Amino acid sequence: MNNPGRIAAVLAVAAVSVSPAMAQSLDAGRGPVPLTVPAGYDSTVPAPLIVVLHGYGGSGAGTDRAWGISALADEYGFLTIAPDGEREPQGRNSPYWNASDACCNFNGTDTDDSGYIRRIIDQIKSSYNVDASRVYVIGHSNGGFMSYRMAYEHSDAVAAIASLAGANHLEDRDPPPYPVHVLQIHGTDDTTIAYRGGEIGENRYPSAMGSVRRWAQYNGCDGARTSREMRDLDASLPGHETGVMKMNTGCRDGGSAELWTVSDGAHSLVYSETWGAQLVEWLLAHPKPGHLIQ
């Protein structure tokens, strides 16, 4: 059984390198957050938006640097922002996201991170020409849990999410109003957020497959599974170590579910040189259909 103290010790994301200059900043009620605007941004051309969410005890800037997302903004022409969660009122004083019963609101606060991230999205939309069909939320660990919450509570705005080593909510719920493309990435040797599901304290979370299967159901997919190409996501593991499983047939327009299983992968990967590009390209290939944009 996992416990909050153990989780607190291992969920932080380390900074790796320096990202490109931040052109602007935005304040959605918790202080300024840097916003990366791609070189050559043209206000007459809609640009995708990627929101990056850190793990428990980490930072938005650290996760962005480790994943190399803002470093790709110029090449792919997207806006990106990586906010920080509020710090715990007691204990380790770590930044966290109030994402699910399991992870990682260990002090039981009423922090509305879902509303906060939505305000960030809406403020960027009000100041920039954002492609409303390509608004994405991605995150690691606690940030992955929060990505699922954003997909569920803001399905009108979010086209797709990608969760690395996170998990969906466990309890049964009705489907959200709109379909959302979901990508779960998870290492089979993750001892922090277990690939096969587990618990933090007294609160359980679903397996990687369980999270994907639930969203396939939400998205109306027929349950058929197809295996695709192998990918190289972790530089510390030999060859193309990651298997791809898709549930994308019979789905409602604008919805699908996908699982990338990193064989022998840990909680924090040693990211391959193409990790960021693979993630960004997957996101951009999964827009929200025009008729579903509000």
Q: What is the 3-state secondary structure (H, E, C) of the chain?
A: CECHHHHHHHCCCCCCCCCCCCCEEEECCCCEEEEECCCCCCCCCCEEEEEEECCCCCCHHHHHHHHCCHHHHHHHCCEEECCCCCECCCCCCCECCCCECCCECCCCCCCCHHHHHHHHHHHHHHHCCEEEEEEEEEEECHHHHHHHHHHHHCCCCCCEEEEECCCCCCCCCCCCCCCCEEEEEEECCCCCCCCCCEEECCEEECCHHHHHHHHHHHCCCCCCCEECCCECCECCCCCCCEEEEEECCCCCCCCEEEEEEECCCCCCCCECCCHHHHHHHHHHCCCCCHHHCC
- 142-153 and 113-127 helices, crossing angle to 10°: 70
Per-residue confidence (pLDDT) for residue 217, from 0 to 100: 98
Encode the chain (294 residues) as per-residue pLDDT tens digits: 345 554 444 444 333 333 444 468 888 889 999 999 999 899 999 999 999 999 999 999 999 999 999 999 999 999 999 999 999 998 789 999 999 999 999 999 999 999 999 999 999 999 999 999 999 999 999 999 999 999 999 999 999 999 999 999 999 999 999 999 999 999 999 999 999 999 999 999 999 999 999 999 999 999 899 987 799 999 999 999 999 999 999 999 999 999 999 999 999 999 999 999 999 999 999 999 987 786
Cα–Cα distance between 152 and 172 in angstroms, integer?
12
Q: pTM surpassing 0.75?
A: yes
**Alpha carbon 87 to chain centroid, angstroms:** 20
Distances (CA, A) of 216 to 102, 179, 193: 22, 9, 21
Domains located in the chain, CATH noted: 4-280 (3.40.50.1820)
Q: Which long-range contacts (CB under 8 A, 24 or more apart) does 169-173 make?
A: 169/100, 169/101, 169/206, 170/100, 170/101, 170/102, 170/204, 170/205, 170/206, 171/101
Per-residue confidence (pLDDT) for residue 23, from 0 to 100: 60
Dihedral sign, Cα of residue 99, residue 164, residue 51, residue 66? positive
**Contact criterion met (CB below 8 Å) for 94 and 57:** yes
Cα–Cα distance between 183 and 164 in angstroms, integer?
9
Closest CA to 104 of 206, 11, 208: 11
Beta bridge partners of 192: none
Per-residue confidence (pLDDT) for residue 12, from 0 to 100: 40
For residue 103, what are its two tokens? 């992870």
